[in-house]
């Protein structure tokens, strides 16, 4: 297929604009950081590669001649330049998926084809009852597994910079942004791209199991940990809408789990053994427990602030004070148990007791917040969903 024959659908025109803008920005960065000669070298290889792909034999020979006998440092810089560009394209595609999803969410009359709401609505139209739909969901098990790929391990610093670029690109979608704000956002994108170019992709020449492990933990904690609860909430909202019931009445079973070969796959890898397995399990436990501990404090602060409106709807002032004391004690006990599990307080709790403690104290706090009439509408979402669906990385 010739490059000129590729036609973008109208719905993807914004993606094409983002790719072109990011490509121009990366070109400016390469010129600033490597000089005009380096930019011309990269651009010449890029044009020759395009012509070779279109079937021009002469340009294929030219590309081979251009890349022959280059020094290792020049080849490394060239590879890095194209790598940065492909990463930018991937980021633009992720932003475009968010853009398209928002367009569907803003149009209540049309569900996203193939999305959760669309599938559940089709089940309802086909005569599947709510009980049958819940049974169908319960019969499912989705388990993505992270595999060991040392060459794909990337510094967490670069991964976070790519996140910042995606957030800035999403902020540019705000129709209320002024031209000055858009210029500021684009300047930040340029700064992040420049910073990525100046940062080594890998912390050392020889990547280790530790690098792979930290790469996986970034996705587990920084991304999936925050996305999984929303996944279950979307299922509940879709069921509630399709079957005209309250989402508060639904309890979607856990169907999403995660596994990882990183740190434990000893098949043909002499660097993976019993010690790496123990260290990997300890590191996973350490990271998730530390995250629980930090969020427990944030959750307690949020819930304490959110309890004041509830005092107006109760018959006496004594009852809300009792509820607040019970909730505070529950969170203090919860933090104490978590601290003991993470080693912050030796002997504070037994490791096997942590899941039970998390469930018991969470339910106690959630029950106190609900009240007799469940007047605190966010209590289930904050105190329940945020704690119930997050699994310790496998």
- pLDDT digit of tens for each residue in the chain (394 aa)? 445 555 667 888 888 888 999 999 999 999 999 999 999 999 988 888 888 887 767 767 888 888 888 888 888 899 999 999 999 999 999 999 989 888 888 887 788 888 999 999 999 999 999 999 999 999 999 999 998 765 566 777 888 899 999 999 999 888 898 999 999 999 999 999 999 998 877 665 667 888 888 888 988 998 899 889 999 999 999 999 999 998 888 888 889 999 998 888 887 778 888 899 999 999 998 888 888 878 777 776 765 554 444 444 444 444 555 555 555 555 556 666 566 555 544 344 444 455 666 666 666 656 655 554 343 344 444 444 444 444 333 3
> CA 232, CA 222: separation in Å to the nearest integer?
18
Same domain for 383 and 253?
Answer: no
Same domain for 372 and 257?
Answer: no
Same domain for 302 and 262?
Answer: no
Same domain for 309 and 229?
Answer: no
User: What are the distances in angstroms from CA 240 to CA 105, 120, 143, 195?
Assistant: 16, 10, 25, 46
Same domain for 286 and 362?
Answer: yes
Per-residue model confidence (pLDDT) at position 186: 94
Phi, psi of 256 (to 5 degrees): -110, 120
Domain with 358, as residue range(s), is 275-388
Global pTM?
A: 0.71
CB 249 within 8 A of CB 315: no
Instruction: Look at residue 52 and tell me if it is in a domain.
Output: no
> CA 302, CA 141: separation in Å to the nearest integer?
33
Same domain for 120 and 264?
Answer: yes
Of 272, 290, 315, which residue constitutes the final position of a domain? 272
Instruction: Look at residue 145 and tell me if it is in a domain.
Output: yes
Same domain for 309 and 266?
Answer: no
Instruction: Look at residue 244 and tell me if it is in a domain.
Output: yes
Can you list the pairs that 340-346 forms with residues at least 24 positions away whose Cβ atoms lie under 8 Å? 341/285, 341/289, 342/286, 342/289, 342/290, 342/293, 344/293
Per-residue model confidence (pLDDT) at position 313: 43
Same domain for 263 and 383?
Answer: no
Same domain for 249 and 117?
Answer: yes
Same domain for 327 and 362?
Answer: yes
Of 246, 272, 298, which residue constitutes the final position of a domain? 272
Same domain for 232 and 319?
Answer: no
Residues 6+ apart with CB under 8 A from 303: 327, 331, 365, 369, 379, 382, 383
**250 token code pair:** 């639904």
Of 235, 256, 272, which residue constitutes the final position of a domain? 272
Same domain for 301 and 384?
Answer: yes
Instruction: Look at residue 242 and tell me if it is in a domain.
Output: yes
> CA 214, CA 336: separation in Å to the nearest integer?
27
3-state secondary structure the chain: CCHHHCCCCHHHHHHHHHHHHHHHHHHHHHHHHHCHHHHHHHHHHHHHHHHHHCCCHHHHHHHHHHHCCCCHHHHHHHHHHHHHHHHHHHHHHHHHHHHHHHHHHHCCCCCCCCCHHHHHHHHHHCCCCHHHHHHHHHCCCECCEECCCHHHCCCHHHHHHHHHHHHHHHHCCCCCCCHHHHHHHHHHHHHHHHHHHHCCCCCCCCCCHHHHHHHHHHHHHHHHHHHHHHHHHHHHHHHHHHHCCCHHHCCCCCCECCEECCCCCCCCCCCCCHHHHHHHHHHHHHHHHHHHHHHHHHHHHHHHHCCHHHHCCCCCCHHHHHHHHHHHHHHHHHHHHHHHHHCCCCCCCCHHHHHHHHHHHHHHHHHHHHCCCCCCCCHHHHHHHHHHCCCCCC
């Amino acid at each position: 297929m010739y490059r000129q024959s590729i036609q973008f659908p109208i719905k993807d025109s914004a993606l094409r604009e983002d790719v072109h803008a990011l490509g121009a920005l990366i070109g400016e960065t390469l010129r600033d950081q490597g000089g005009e000669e380096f930019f011309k070298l990269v651009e010449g290889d890029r044009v020759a590669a395009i012509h070779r792909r279109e079937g021009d034999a002469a340009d294929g020979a030219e590309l081979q001649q251009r890349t022959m006998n280059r020094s290792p440092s020049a080849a490394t810089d060239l590879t890095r330049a194209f790598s940065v560009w492909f990463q930018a394209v991937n980021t633009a595609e992720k932003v475009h998926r968010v853009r398209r999803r928002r367009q569907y969410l803003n149009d209540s009359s049309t569900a996203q084809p193939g999305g959760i709401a669309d599938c559940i609505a089709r089940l309802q139209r086909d005569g599947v009852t709510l009980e049958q739909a819940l049974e169908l969901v319960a019969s499912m098990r989705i388990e993505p597994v992270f595999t060991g790929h040392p060459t794909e391990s990337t510094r967490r610093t670069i991964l976070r910079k790519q996140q910042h670029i995606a957030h800035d690109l999403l902020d540019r979608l705000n129709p209320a942004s002024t031209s000055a704000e858009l210029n500021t956002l684009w300047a930040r994108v340029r700064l992040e791209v420049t910073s990525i170019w100046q940062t080594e992709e890998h912390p050392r020449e020889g990547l280790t199991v530790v690098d792979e492990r930290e790469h996986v933990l970034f996705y587990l904690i920084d991304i999936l940990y925050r996305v999984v609860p929303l996944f279950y909430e979307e299922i509940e909202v879709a069921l509630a809408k399709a079957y005209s019931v309250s989402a508060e009445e639904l309890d979607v079973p856990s169907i999403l789990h995660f596994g990882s070969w990183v740190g434990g796959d000893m098949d043909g890898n002499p660097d993976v053994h019993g010690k790496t397995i123990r260290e990997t399990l300890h590191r996973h436990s350490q990271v998730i427990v530390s995250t629980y501990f930090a969020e427990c404090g944030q959750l307690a602060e949020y819930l304490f602030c959110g309890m004041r409106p509830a005092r107006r709807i109760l018959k006496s002032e004594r009852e809300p004070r009792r509820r607040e004391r019970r909730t505070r004690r529950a969170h203090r006990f919860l933090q104490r148990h978590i601290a003991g599990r993470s080693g912050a307080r030796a002997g504070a709790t037994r490791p096997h007791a942590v899941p039970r403690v998390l469930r018991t104290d969470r339910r106690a706090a959630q029950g106190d917040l609900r009240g007799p009439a469940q007047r605190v509408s966010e209590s289930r979402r904050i105190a329940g969903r945020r704690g119930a669906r997050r699994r310790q990385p496998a």
